[in-house]
Amino acid sequence: MGRVYGVPVYVAPSWFLVAALITWFFGNQLDRVLPELGNGRYLVSLFFAVAFYASVLVHELAHTVAAIRFDLPVRRIQLQFFGGVSEIEKESQTPGREFVLAGVGPLLSLVLAGVFYLGMLVVDADTVPGVLLAGLMISNLIVAVFNLLPGLPLDGGRMLRAVVWKVSGSPMTGTVAAAWTGRVLAVAVLIGFPLATHLGSAGERDSFTGLETLTDALLAAILAAIIWTGAGNSLRMARLRERLPGLNARALTRRAVPVTGETPLSEALRRANDTGARALVVVDGQGTPVAVVREAGIAGVPQHRRPWVPVSTLAQDLTDGMRVPAGLTGEGLLDHLRATPATEYLVVEETGEIYGVLSTSDVERAFIDAMARPAAFPGRPPAAGS
């Protein structure tokens, strides 16, 4: 849709389904309040759907502005089936910032609800503006209250995580507590939402039958699935961030031997074998690295042709992004590799000296191994040998 503060805003295809459902549902409600609108009520309902999601966008912008204020990069804002999401790429540095970052969204939704309420005071309730303002006031209040529920992935869950993090001193402990609270919340929504809806109409003969019952159950199941899945994803991401420091550029780097571009592949491989190196770096006449020989390129050359193939034909020219500081670890390393996709990188010391070659296959293998290790209980040191 565009960019706000440099952050792209996207609309998921599922939004159009929700907009259609809101238009149909709100249109039916309008028929009871303003029957004189006729079929025009659906046009008013469509306007309400767009205005409601504009409010959701404002909610997400609050998170985005706070993230930018705290120097946290935001990949994008996406409006989707149930509301929206601001994809913040890094964790907050402190529990206080995490609490503020999570709380500004519901706070702004409450402010919007208040603004729409004030608007209701200056218009007639039985008019299109009055009904729209009432609907937007109620919907923003629901968004604020729902997001304040204390379970991940909701904003209230992130606020709970920040509180537990502050008390325990461990962000992982906060995530575990908030994620399991989120799972309990998902079960409560699955069972409690349809039950609470029908308790309100207990005097009606068909309160537990019909289309409304099915709709309530389906809505509860979708909400519960979203919360449960989000809580699980939060746990996995926390576990990933906890183990990322184990990804170390220096430890994963292959020893490399420098060769000139015209060196035959067979001779270059002989030198590498003699020195125990597992990678080749092409250098110019002054010894400055200019390219990295691709491992896949070497594998594709038959043994009998290697004396006739110069290494320069198998090399990828170095760009600035393909030079990786040897001291990079964790998220910093992954961010660097993600910014410049390649199969091999030249790892250099602070002095510019060649340290070796980093292969993305080695990074991926180390990443998978780190995630496969059993998690230590929060607050406990890992077992010996892990």
Could you tell me which residues are annotated as the binding site? 59, 63, 155
Angle (CA) 73-76-81 rounded to 5° is 140
Question: Is 89 an annotated catalytic residue?
Answer: no
* Cα–Cα distance measured from residue 282 to residue 268, given in angstroms and rounded to the nearest whole number: 10
* First vs last C-alpha separation in the chain: 47
Which of 60, 98, 295, 344 is labelled catalytic?
Answer: 60
Q: 228: which residues sit within 8 A by CB, 6+ positions away?
A: 182, 183, 186
DSSP code for 341: -
Sign, CA torsion 218/223/226/229:
negative
CB atoms within 10 A of CB 266: 16
Strands 344-348, 323-325: pairing is parallel
3-state secondary structure of 377: coil
What residue numbers does the annotated binding site for Zn(2+) cover? 59, 63, 155
| Alpha-carbon distance values, 22 to 13, 45, 341 (Å) | 15, 7, 42
Q: 54: which residues sit within 8 A by CB, 6+ positions away?
A: none
Question: 214: part of which helix (H) or strand (E)?
Answer: helix 211-243
DSSP code for 206: T
3-state secondary structure of 278: coil
**Nearest one of 317, 283, 280, 282 to 298, comparing CA atoms:** 280
Strands 7-11, 74-80: pairing is parallel
* Cα–Cα distance measured from residue 125 to residue 123, given in angstroms and rounded to the nearest whole number: 6
CB atoms within 10 A of CB 333: 22
CB atoms within 10 A of CB 119: 16
One-letter identity of residue 6: G
Catalytic residues: 60
